[in-house]
Structure 1
Amino acid sequence: EIFSMGKFDLGAESKFDALRPSIKARLLEVLGLAPNASVWAMTGCRGGVNEGIWFVKAHGRPELVLKLVKITRIATNIPTEAENFARLYKEHPAAFSDPLLALPFKAFRCSGRPGAKENDLFVIRKSAGERLAEWLASKLHQQQFDVVLRMMWDLGARLSEYHSRYSHLQHGDFTLSNIFFDESRNQFAFIDLGGMGIPTLDGDVEHFSKSLALLEKKHGQPRVAEWDRAFRQGYAHGTGNT
C-alpha cells in the first residue's frame, strides 16, 4: 500500500518526541527499521504549523522525514493535513508514488494516556538534492546566471505537468523553500504538500512570481523579472498547456 493511516501509542509519554528512547524504539519497530537506526531533530526554521521535524536513517534504506502537526483545523472550512491527505489518496492515489511530490507514505494519530498531547505524524521519504532557495543562492554567488535561467524554465514546465496530471490542483504554497532540486539529475520535488488542492487566493504561478519579487531588493528588478519570464515561458510550454 502506498499510503496508510494508523495509530501510534505514546505509552507513558505526554507527547511525541522521536528522540525519547521509548518512542524511538516503538517508532523504528512500526517503520520496520533496525533498532540502531539514526534519528535526529531538525534545527532552525521548521515551518509555522509544524510541531516538530525529525530525520531517520537506517543502513541501506532511504532517509525519512518525520513531520508532526496539530490535529485541529486552522479554520472550520479548511481540513487538517491528515484529512486532506486522505482525500487526495482517494481521488489521486497515483500522486503518492509520484517522485515529483513529497507526499507521506504513512500517517499516524499519536495519542496516549488522558492528558497526553494528540498530534498527527507523517512519514515522508526525503527528497534528493537541496532546497531550491539554497541552490539559487549558491548559483548566484558563483554568477551562474544562465544555469539559473534554465532551471526556472524547467521548473515552470514541471509545474505545468503537475497541474495537468492532477486536475489542476494547486500546491498551495509554491515557493523556493518548498521545492527541492537535484541538479545532477535535473529533477524537482515539491514538498510541504499539506495544503495541496485547498483553494487559495493566488494560484501557484502567481504565488511563485510574488515570492520571486521579494528578491528584487537584493538582486535587482531586471534580473528577477528575467527569472519570472523564464518560469512562465516554461509553464506555457509544459504538458499542461499543449
Structure 2
Amino acid sequence: MKKMFEVLALLFFVCLIVANTNAQKMSVEMVVVNAKVRTMDTAKPNAEAFAVVGNKIVAVGTNQEIRALVGANTKILDANGKLVLPGFNDSHVHFLEGGFQLSNVDLRDAKSPQEFARRIKEFAAKLPKGQWILGGNWDHENWTPNNLPTKELIDAVTPDNPVFISRLDGHMALANSLALKMAQVTKDTKDVAGGEIVRDKNGEPTGVLKDEAMSYINRIIPEFSFAEKTNAAQAATDYAASFGVTSVQDMSTGNDVGVYQ
C-alpha cells in the first residue's frame, strides 16, 4: 500500500511538471507593444505593452515582459508610442434611441432651411409610401435667420410619408401636414398642459409641437418591433465601441430591458 502511494505521488508530481511546462509554452493571441498604456491602477499607472487572449487583456507590463509571451501564432501590434486607455463608460445615454437615430434622417448639421428640406427629400425617396420619417436632431439656431421650420418647408417633399422629426434638445418636433392630419391636429385642437402647438398668425398649426404637445403625434406612431429594437441596440453598440465606449447606463424604459438580455 505504501509503495502504491509513493507511485501515485510520483505520477502527480510529474503531471504538475508537465502542466507547468505546457503553461510556460502557452502563447497569447495578440500583444500590443511600444504603447503609452494608462492602467488606472494607482500602484502601477503606466505600462508599455499588454497581451490579449480572446476578448480579455491577460497581462500588462513592459515591452520585454509582454514579448516573452509571444508565440508562433501571436499577432504583434506596434503602437508606435500612441496612447492606450481603458474603455470609456457613458453614465447617461438614451442608447436605444441613439441606435434608431443611426438609421433615421440626420439633420443635426443642416446649415439652412433649404439643406434641411433637401436632406428630408433625399431620405424620403428611399422609403416606401406610408413609412414614418423620424429622427432629425435639427437645430434652427444654425440658420440665418434662425426661424423655426414649418410644415410648408417639407410638405412638398414628403407627400406620402408622415414626418415627425425632433429638435436636438428633444423638447420640440416638426410634423408635416400628413402627420398632423393622421393625428387630427387642427386649428381647433387645444394645447395640453406643459406643451404648446405652435401656430401661425391665423391660428393654424405650423407643424412644430413643443414638449407635452408632442404626444399628439407620438401616440399614433407605430410601436417598434422587438426585432427592430434589437437591431437598433446592436447598431448603437457597434457605434459606441468604435469610439472606445465599452459600457453604458441606458436611460430607456424598463420595457426595453429584454432587448439587452
Which bin holds the TM-score, normalised by the shorter protein? Answer: under 0.3
Q: What is the TM-score with the length of structure 2 in the denominator?
A: 0.22
The structure carrying a bigger strand percent of its residues is: 2
Give the greater-gyration-radius structure (CA). Answer: 2
Q: What is the TM-score with the length of structure 1 in the denominator?
A: 0.23
